[in-house]
Amino acid sequence: MTDETKLARRPQRADARRNYDRLVEAARETFREHEADSSLEQIARRAGVGIGTLYRHFPTRLALLEAVYRDEVDDLADRSAALTAEEPWDALAEWLDLFLSYAATKRALFHELIEVAGRDSELLTHSREVINGSGQAILARAQDAGVARADLEIGDVVRLVGGCTMMPGSTDEQQKRMLAVVLAGIRA
């Protein structure tokens, strides 16, 4: 995590926290729609704040990119933990749907983050650990229940689902259809 991201994550007043959350959400939506090259001014407008507010929270573009990326992976981890109460197949299908959403945002941010922070940055290492750890637990549970193919590894499934988001211009609807095909292929 860069020093700028650490600054952005310090405790805040309620109004500042709301602005922070609105900026992260606006950036996430903007990056999904327009890729990572969207302007910071566009993101601030979408969040309903001034550019100065954006820069108070995120002194650099990298700090904003990291915040969105970290928020996405932390959300995936939190929501994955809640899936243990679901039936094994339902939990796997829901986790893959969550991962699909994560991967769609990742596609827009990943290359810029790699260029600036590097493939082995703390953020990307943390992301891989969360994805592989949470996904493996859910996949293993489905395999143990006999509802997912036993010959799969989480890396296989992540690559398949991640690939569903890689085609430029693919819609959410198309990605969901592709996920349904992947699910049919991994079902035992």
Q: Return per-residue pLDDT of the chain as tens, 188 residues.
A: 555 554 455 556 888 899 999 999 999 888 877 766 678 999 999 999 999 999 999 999 889 988 988 888 888 899 999 998 999 999 999 999 999 888 877 766 777 777 777 777 788 888 889 999 999 999 999 999 999 999 999 999 999 998 888 777 778 899 899 999 999 999 99
* CA dihedral of 80, 126, 72, 41, whole degrees rounded to 10: 180
Domains of the chain listed by start with CATH number: 3-186 (1.10.357.10)
Residue type, 6: K
- Do the Cβ atoms of 128 and 178 come closer than 8 Å? no
- The tally of CA atoms less than 13 A away on the side-chain side of residue 36 is 20
d(CA 28, CA 43): 9
d(CA 155, CA 59): 35
Is the overall model pTM greater than 0.75, yes or no? yes
d(CA 68, CA 11): 17
